[in-house]
Amino acid sequence: MGFKTALYATHQAMGGKLVDFGGWDMPLHYGSQIEEHNHVRQNAGMFDVSHMTVVDVKGEDAKAYLQYLLANDVAKIEAIPGKALYSGMLNPDGGVIDDLIVYNMPQNASGAWFRTVVNCGTREKDLAWMTKIAADFDVELTERDDLAMVAIQGPKAIELTKTVVSPARAALIDSLKIFQGLPEGEWFIARTGYTGEDGLEIMLPNAEVETFWNSLNKAGVPACGLAARDTLRLEAGMNLYGHEMDDSVSPLAANMGWTLALQPAERNFIGRKAIEAQKSAGAEFKLVGLVLRERGVMRAEQVVSVDGSDQKGVITSGTFSPTLGYSIALARVPASVGSQCYVEMRGKQVLVDVVAPNFVRNGKALV
């Protein structure tokens, strides 16, 4: 038996197939992963993402602490209340301890503070690391396990969500820019997501989430499980911790170079030296998208061969794309890769196309 979110009984009542996910009992699907996937692409769907770990960072040194802890620079978001930033949290060797989102929370009486959202399977090591680094700073870390989190995603997500919240919250939703989140009472509403569609991620007290979830469902937003979340994020070319990167993988080999804020040069952050050395040596591997237009499905851990290189690549995530109707994958391959490569599938070498790792965005095929 794993951890349970405040919606556990609701998932059971709705026929969710519950599985262990990073120590949490979470719904994989409620009948058909593909139907749920299509709802999100065409209309709207909702996900219980309360298993993710929310940590508030407050105190005099909140900004300085995050500037040392994270490879991206929170100074980029300090001018805009609620603005979110995606970053890796690196180890001294430049590997990725976790990827996370940090929100610049509107200032209160005690000054600047930030909200971070990290993954669930990495919770313990993240908290241990964040606490260890915090020892040298005047900061206070608070895990917000009193909050549930619901992601509503899809072209109609915002419109439908507005029909079930208070006028003040609907107005707040209207005011949000993409990748921005703001509080309203005890709620925190962000225009973020993990599907390649517009939508919201809403944190709210555990005691209120069941009512909110049921009213969304009544308004025409079906419940979707983690299986659809995975095919959606993969179509959107988004990384998943433990697949595209982990403690042993450089952000440069995981298509996260854009999240490394090397300027200003005087900002020291954990992993900086290692990243600078890797950068000057040149990246050996890079993350690309793969497309197989014939029958078959590419799967994680299949071996990839590239012309002109003895080094082997690997598929980090592979699936059938419900939107495109064929298989897509993310793969870490030798940087010399051309427009095609071979994937070893069930004992055969299959020729596949190499594309930018971004397959579907806002309902449109990009490959």
Partner 1 sequence: MSDIRKELKYLSSHEWARVEEDGTVTIGITDHAQEALGDVVYVETPEVGSRVSIGEEAGVVESVKAASDIYSLVSGEVVEVNEALQDAPETVNASPYDDGWFFRVKPDDLAELEEALDAADYRELIESEE
Nearer residue to partner 1 within complex by CB, 32 or 217: 32
Only one of the segments 238-246, 249-257, 304-312, 318-326 lies at the binding site for partner 1 (rule: CB under 8 A); that segment is: 318-326
Coil vs helix vs strand at 329: strand
Cα 109 to Cα 112: distance, rounded to the nearest angstrom:
9
Residue whose pair of structure tokens reads 């593909």 in the numeric block: 34
Nearer residue to partner 1 within complex by CB, 15 or 185: 15
Q: Which of 161, 180, 319, 323 binds partner 1 (CB under 8 A)?
A: 319
- What is the contact mask toward partner 1 in residues 120 to 139, using x (rule: CB under 8 A)? --------------------
For residue 95 the two structure tokens come to: 């590997």
H/E stretch holding 364: strand 364-365
H/E stretch holding 84: strand 84-90
The letter for the amino acid at 31 is: G
Residue whose pair of structure tokens reads 């709802």 in the numeric block: 39
For residue 180 the two structure tokens come to: 């921005």
Closest CA to 260 of 243, 275, 245, 248: 275
The letter for the amino acid at 115 is: R
Q: Which of 167, 265, 280, 346 binds partner 1 (CB under 8 A)?
A: 346
Q: Which of 320, 335, 355, 363 binds partner 1 (CB under 8 A)?
A: 320
Only one of the segments 101-109, 155-163, 291-299, 349-357 lies at the binding site for partner 1 (rule: CB under 8 A); that segment is: 291-299
User: Considering the rule CB under 8 A, would residue 324 count as an interface residue with partner 1?
Assistant: no
Residues 65, 24, 57: CA angle, nearest 5 degrees: 15
CB of 88 closer than 8 Å to CB of 70? yes
User: Considering the rule CB under 8 A, would residue 32 count as an interface residue with partner 1?
Assistant: yes
Cα 297 to Cα 72: distance, rounded to the nearest angstrom:
35
CB of 150 closer than 8 Å to CB of 205? no
User: Considering the rule CB under 8 A, would residue 2 count as an interface residue with partner 1?
Assistant: no
Number of residues that bind partner 1 (CB under 8 A): 15
Residue 56 CB, shortest distance to partner 1, in Å, is 36
Nearer residue to partner 1 within complex by CB, 201 or 235: 235
- What is the contact mask toward partner 1 in residues 220 to 249, using x (rule: CB under 8 A)? -------x---x------------------
Residue 319 CB, shortest distance to partner 1, in Å, is 6
Nearer residue to partner 1 within complex by CB, 180 or 231: 231
β-bridge partners, 113: 105
Q: Which of 75, 160, 274, 297 binds partner 1 (CB under 8 A)?
A: 297
Question: Which residues bind to partner 1, rule: CB under 8 A?
Answer: 28-29, 32-34, 227, 231, 295-297, 299, 319-320, 322, 346
